[in-house]
Structure 1
Amino acid sequence: MNALIKAATIIDSKSSHHGTTVDIRIKYGKIRLIGQNLSQEKGEKLIQKENLYASQGWFDSSVSIGQPGYEERETIDNGLTVAAKSGFTGIAINPNTYPILDTSSDITFVSKMGEGHATSIFPIGALTRNSESVDLAELYDMQQSGAVAFGDYQRAVSNPNLLKIALQYTQGFNGLVLSFPLEDNIAGTGKMNEGITSTGIGLKGIPAIAESLQVARDLHILEYTGGKLHIPTISTAASVALIRDAKNKGLDVSCSVAIHNLFYTDQALLDFNTHYKVLPPLRTQEDIDALIAGIKDGTIDMVTSDHNPLDIERKQVEFDNAAFGTISQEATFGALLTLVSEKKAVQLLTNGRERFTQTSFPIEKDTDVNLTLFTTKGSYTFGQEHILSKSKNACFLGARLKGNVFGIMANQKIVLK
């Protein structure tokens, strides 16, 4: 991969070139020169765009890909193409496949399937066997095969002692434990946020306390055991406050928020559109305000697409029977840029890599190329033509978004839109 990037503004707080506009020469997958007025050499691909920005490659900490088992929803091959064209050079994939990824051979399979792409795949192994919250899965063996974390996607660890043992056990190999923030007994059969909107349209609600109670429990366990805990996709003001306090105590905890939980309130469900049926559910404007405050003060570490392709049989049914989930990856950057500055957006889209993979690719001479190229200018309405996934359950249809992704450069490959 030989290329010359012209006049790119660098957004990378770990780079000495942060905030400057420079040319970048790339030879054989490494940054060889960063400077001004560089001339294109023979064999170099010229990348020159108006209002071009470059950052470390973005990382998405929660992505669902159907394969193996649900290839009609999404395949690994197309899923990685979607990620690349959405600006992500790395994605952590959830274990909600068939079979569930709970053995070392499962992890090896998806890792091998992901080879040869610009975007790297990082499997999350199930925390418990078959994600049933009864017995721990083979965590150490899965880590040795490439698993970067352990969690049961959208399934809470109902047994607190199981979480305690997991946090203690994984300290022996620096493992990262994920615990989905939902107390099932309180959530019950709820379909959306419990509040004025759910009462008005007659749908069963999931109270905010169903999340915050679980978060409080998990943080108490973490304080007792030590270890590394990640709480994925929080959605309530109370959760932000609890995690803020835990970080002030020095606990090793991180958390993420899904982009749609920052962008939409529960009023999006007034017409019973199942594209907005997600878990955790869309909450209130007060919750969104608290989440954004948590982003600004560093309580919330990362934003994820929580991308979850689902086939038509799972979404175009009665609201009560529809599955939770939406595809959001194609819209993540454009939606986030409507809420925060480009510097904060890049920070939120790159923080996950170090937490999950302990790697970083600062934009410096002789560093391996791992770049996302984008612009902050312009706006557009997200439509069917912007959907790249096999499944079409996109909650952002009709949303007004900002900026655009040009593509990525990673793993000796260039993917441009």
Structure 2
Amino acid sequence: MKLLLKSAKIIDPTSSYHLKTLDIFIENGTIEKIGKSLKINKCDREIKLKDLHVSKGWIDTSVSFGEPGYEERETINNGLDTAAKSGFTQIALNPNTNPIIDDNGAITSVLSKAKDHAVQLFAIGALTRRAEGKDLAELFDMHTAGAIAFGDYKRPTSHPNLLKLALQYAQNFDGMVQSYPQDNQIAGNGLVNEGINSTYLGLKGIPAFAEELQIVRDLAILEYTGGKLHIPTISTEKSVKLIRNAKKNGLDVSCSVTIHNLLFTDDVLAEFDTHMKVLPPLRTKNDVKALIKGLKDGTIDMLTSDHTPIDIEHKKIEFEHALYGTIGLESAFGALQKIFSLEETIKFLTKGRERFKIKEPQIEEGTEANLSLFSPGEEYKFSKEHIASTSRNSIFLDFNMKGKVYGIINKNAMAI
């Protein structure tokens, strides 16, 4: 396939073409030529789009679909279509399906279902069997099948010895362990952030301490065992400080933050809108400021939409009974541009590959085309018509956005 992108402004500080507006010729999935006013004979498609910008492909390291088991929420195919329309060329799939992705066969199955799509799917295997937190899953077998990390999605590893064993065992094949940062005995039956708003609304709170205590424990175990630890979706000011200090002390730890935890506080809970019920919960203004600072200074290694489709029967009900989670792929780019510059937004959307040992794309002649296409200037209000997911549970409904995504080019395929 021969593609010609016309007048595309390249946003990639690692490229020699950074901030230049040029034509990009792609043949059979490889960037063959970059230059001014290129003339290509017998081109299959010439792409001219308003205010076209291009960056290396975006990645999201924490995405949930529904298949297998919850196909009514999202199938793998529609989920990958949604990722493509949202500008993502690569996603890491969480193991929270039914059955749980906890063995070689389950990893092989989800990877095979995505093999022909323009979006590349990477699989995260469960850390424990059936994500029950009792016995380690088949980590090495899943690693050989292609799993890039191991963690029980939104379920903390409550038993400290189990985390110790996992970190020790995974070192045999340079595997990375994920540990969700919440002490459930402290969190109890909490629903939202513990604080003034939870008291005012009469909702049971999840103390910031529940997250921070778990991180202190996990870092102590990591210091003892060695190995690689990833702490997904931190949400408090002290969590940032704890991980910053751990990195200064030489621990091999990384962490992520959700996009919605950078934009919303628990002040939005006044209407008891279940779209705002997420885990970790929305915290305070001071937490948001610390998270943004931590992302900018590199303490927080990557961000994620934490895309979690939930069907209407489990979301449009009483706040106490609604499931946690929001979709987020479609809103990621437009939301981030409300708080960051374009270059910062692209930087954050492309971070995380190195930690998961995923090859970094390049925008140079002779390299594989792994590109996200977008226009950064358009402002609009996010509504249901902007949702491509099967589920509609977006925390960003009626939120003012900036920037439009055109699609992606990846794996010698195009989704525009």
Q: Which position in structure 1 is the counterpart of 2:256? A: 256
Distance, in Å, in 1 between the alignment partners of 2:31 and 2:286 is 44
> Secondary structure, in 3 states, of the residue corresponding to 1:300?
coil
The residue aligned with 1:291 is 291
- Deviation string 1:104-163 (CA, Å, 9 cap, x unpaired) is 000011011112111011110000111111111000100111111100000001011111
CA contact (8 A) 2:4 2:43 kept: no
2:269 corresponds to? 269
**Deviation at residue 357 of structure 1 after TM alignment:** 3.6
Normalising by structure 1, report the TM-score: 0.98
The residue aligned with 1:393 is: 393
**Deviations 1:315-337 (CA, angstroms, capped at 9, x unpaired):** 11111111111111100111011
- Identity fraction in percent: 57
Comparing 89-98 with 244-253, which one deviates more in the overlay?
Answer: 244-253
Q: Match of 1:327?
A: 327
| Deviation for aligned residue 1:311 | 0.8
Partner of 1:177: 177
Matching residue's letter, 1:226: G
Counterpart in the other structure of 2:139: 139
Q: What 5-or-longer segments of structure 1 have no aligned partner? A: none
TM-score between the two structures when normalised by the length of structure 2: 0.98
Cα separation, 2, equivalents of 1:51 and 1:225: 51
Residue of structure 2 equivalent to 1:127:
127
Query: How does 1:13-28 map onto structure 2 within 5 Å?
Result: 13-28=13-28
Deviations 1:259-281 (A, max 9, x none): 11111111111111111100000
How far 1:40 moved relative to its partner?
Answer: 3.9
Give, in whole Å, the separation in 1 of the partners of 2:114 and 2:247. 35
- Equivalent residue number for residue 307 of structure 1: 307
Distance (whole Å) between structure 2 residues aligned to residue 355 and residue 11 of structure 1: 22
Amino acid at match of 2:313: E
Any residues of structure 2 matched to 1:60-71 within 5 Å, and which? 60-71=60-71
- What is residue 165 of structure 1 aligned with on the other side? 165
Deviation at 1:349, TM superposition (A): 1.2
- The 1-side partners of 2:171 and 2:12 are apart by 31
In structure 1, the residue corresponding to 2:17 is in which secondary structure? coil
Kindly provide the CA deviation profile for residues 279-313 of structure 1, in whole angstroms up to 9, marking residues without a partner as x. Answer: 00001111101001111111111110100001111
Residue pair 1:236, 1:290 contacting (<8 A) in 2 also: yes
What one-letter code is carried by the residue in structure 2 that aligns with 1:56?
K
Residue matched to 1:375: 375
Which sections of structure 2, spanning at least 5 residues, go unmatched? none
Aligned partner letter, 2:63: V
What is the RMSD of the two structures over their aligned residues, measured on CA atoms? 1.1
Aligned twin of 1:6: 6
Per-residue deviation, 1:9: 1.9
Cα deviation, residue 16, structure 1: 2.0
Verify the 8 A CA contact 1:40 1:46 in the aligned structure 2: no
- Contact map agreement 1:370 1:409 (CA 8 A) in 2: yes
The residue type equivalent to 2:317 in the other structure is V
Instruction: Kindly state the Cα deviation for residue 223 of structure 1 after the two structures are TM-superposed.
Output: 1.8
In the TM superposition, what is the alpha-carbon distance from 1:405 to its structure 2 partner? 0.8
Q: For residue 107 of structure 2, what is the aligned residue in structure 1?
A: 107
Deviation at 1:12, TM superposition (A): 1.9
Q: Over residues 208-238 of structure 1, what are the superposed CA-to-partner deviations in whole Å (9 max), with x where a residue is unaligned?
A: 1111111111112112222111111111101
CA contact (8 A) 2:31 2:369 kept: yes
The CA distance in 1 between the partners of 2:161 and 2:375, in whole Å, is 47
Contact 1:65–1:309 under 8 Å retained in 2:
yes
Deviation sequence 1:388-416 (CA, Å, 0-9, x none): 11111111100001111111000111111
Distance 2:391 2:347 in 1: 29
Cα displacement string for residues 12-56 of structure 1 (whole angstroms, at most 9, x for unaligned residues): 232222232222110110000111221243123112223222111
**Count of residue pairs brought into register by the alignment:** 416
In the alignment, the residues of structure 2 paired with residue 104 and residue 397 of structure 1 have an alpha-carbon distance, to the nearest angstrom, of 38
User: Following the alignment from structure 2 to structure 1, what is the Cα–Cα distance between the partners of residues 171 and 152?
Assistant: 19
Q: Which position in structure 1 is the counterpart of 2:225?
A: 225
Q: CA deviation at 1:382?
A: 0.2
